Amino acid sequence: MRYKRIHQNSILKFMRNKIGIVILIFSFSSVFSQNDVSPFIYVLGNVQDAGLPHIGCESKICLDAFNEKKKHYVTSIALIDKENQEYSLFDVTPNITEQLLMIRRDIFNKYILPKNIFITHAHIGHYTGLMYFGREALGSKGIKVNVLPRMYDFISNNGPWSQLVELGNISLNEINFRDNIKIKPNLSVIPIQVPHRDEFSETSAFLIKGPNKTALFLPDIDKWSKWSISLIEMLRNVDYAFLDATFYTNDEINRDIEEIPHPLVIETMDLLSELPDYQKDKVYFIHMNHTNQMLDANSDISRSVLKKGFNIARLGQKFSL
Ligand SMILES: [Zn+2]
Ligand SMILES: [Zn+2]
């Protein structure tokens, strides 16, 4: 894990240097300096839409996840603004109940609902958690859900989602690609279109701009070559990039992978292989299918990804903005 790695590096520096204590403090705080005013990203899940355990899966990773009660949640991140005691949620997963409890336990020490929700697209892991805001569950009032135009129509015109709008459980706000959506004077979100299987909605990535740093949240895309933007160029302009890592290789599932295209992690690493280390270090792979051994932090594949200079997003990680 990143913290561990940084911590070990820091201790090495400490041992090698007589003024190590200064360096130790400096290098630890440069990764994540949490104070009352700096916003940060908090990782609420890193699994592909269908979660872990995965329905129909009897492999060890699914049975372990089930038996050991080790928590694995579907991909989502929160943008935490502790100063104002509020946060924005990026994607609303079927694990929303647990994920909001994580925020209560680890961040605010009290139950706070999201001030803003941003949804990437209408695939099951990314929006169906909305159902828990409805009459059968929370019965919330006016939670602001920011969606792109096709997603706006999809939710407005199809039950059960339309009932959330009719009852006022959620308040839909239509946004457009490239809008600069100000959450606070020093916090903004920019939706960016990405090519994906757009059956019910368009698909968005989000640029999240903080006072000092920018993050890219891009959990789903068909292929980097289909994108109008160069990933390498994008990486130059961000500090963290949470990127689609659904499949590590194309032989890990017994279905036609052409029907569910994603950039394979080996392809993404290959595409970025010539970049300097500090650019690779911005990448945090996320949205891993239950077949992807990167979900197991101790697997050989996880180790080899880290060794190549990339990172893997893990539950509970924090990133200063
Ligand atoms: Zn997905
Ligand atoms: Zn998708």
pLDDT per residue over 247-278, tens digit each? 999 888 877 777 788 999 999 999 999 999 99
What's the CA gap between 180 and 175, in Å, rounded?
9
Average pLDDT over residues 145-170: 98
Using alpha carbons only, give the angle 184, 149, 46 rounded to the nearest 5 degrees. 65
Distance 290 CA to ligand 2 centre (A): 15
pLDDT in the model for residue 308: 98
Q: What is the reported pLDDT for 25?
A: 38
* Helix count and strand count (H, E) for the chain: 11, 14
Strand, coil or helix: 228: coil
DSSP H helices, the chain, are 2-16, 20-31, 60-67, 96-103, 124-127, 149-157, 161-166, 231-236, 265-271, 277-280, 300-307
Residue 298 has pLDDT above 70, yes or no: yes
Distance 22 CA to ligand 1 centre (A): 43
* Res 165: pLDDT: 98
The pLDDT tens digits of the residues spanning 25-80 come to 333 333 565 555 789 999 999 999 999 999 999 999 999 999 987 789 999 999 99
Question: What ligand has the least distance to the C-alpha of 49?
Answer: 1
Burial label for 112, CB within 10 Å (0-12, 13-18, 19+), is: middle
Q: What is the CA(129)–ligand 1 centre distance, in A?
A: 13
- Around ion ligand 2, residues with a beta carbon closer than 5 Å are 123, 220
Cα separation, 68 vs 40, whole angstroms? 30
> Which phi and psi angles does 290 have, rounded to 5°?
-60, -15
- Ligand 1: centre distance to CA 206 (Å): 14
pLDDT digits (tens, 9 = 90+) for 190-236: 999 999 999 999 999 999 999 999 999 999 999 999 999 999 999 99
How many A from CA of 120 to the centre of ligand 1? 9
Q: Give residue 291 CA to ligand 1 midpoint distance, Å.
A: 14
**How many angstroms separate the alpha carbon of residue 150 from the centre of ligand 2?**
15
Tell if the pTM clears 0.95, that is, is over it: no
Ligand 1 center to 123 CA (angstroms): 6
Mean pLDDT value of segment 236-251: 96
Please give the distance, rounded to the nearest whole angstrom, from the Cα atom of residue 220 to the centre of ligand 1. 5
Distance 287 CA to ligand 1 centre (A): 7
Whose atoms come closest to the Cα of 51: which ligand?
A: 1
pLDDT at residue number 1 = 36
Q: What is the pLDDT of residue 259?
A: 79
Give me the pLDDT at residue 253, please.
80
Half-sphere exposure in the Cβ direction for 316 (13 Å, CA): 10
User: Does residue 151 carry a pLDDT above 70?
Assistant: yes
The pLDDT of residue 177 is above 80? yes
pLDDT tens for each residue of 95-132? 999 999 999 999 999 999 999 999 999 999 999 999 99
Ligand index nearest the alpha carbon of residue 93? 1
Q: Is the pLDDT of residue 309 over 80?
A: yes
Distance 121 CA to ligand 1 centre (A): 8
- The pLDDT of residue 23: 38
Has residue 284 got a pLDDT over 70? yes
Strand partners, 218: 243
For residue 167, give Cα distances in angstroms to 135, 159, 195: 8, 12, 33
Answer yes or no: is pLDDT of 9 > 80.
no
Q: Tell how far the Cα of 181 is from the centroid of ligand 1, in angstroms.
A: 23
Q: Which ligand is nearest to the CA of 194?
A: 2
Distance 13 CA to ligand 1 centre (A): 40
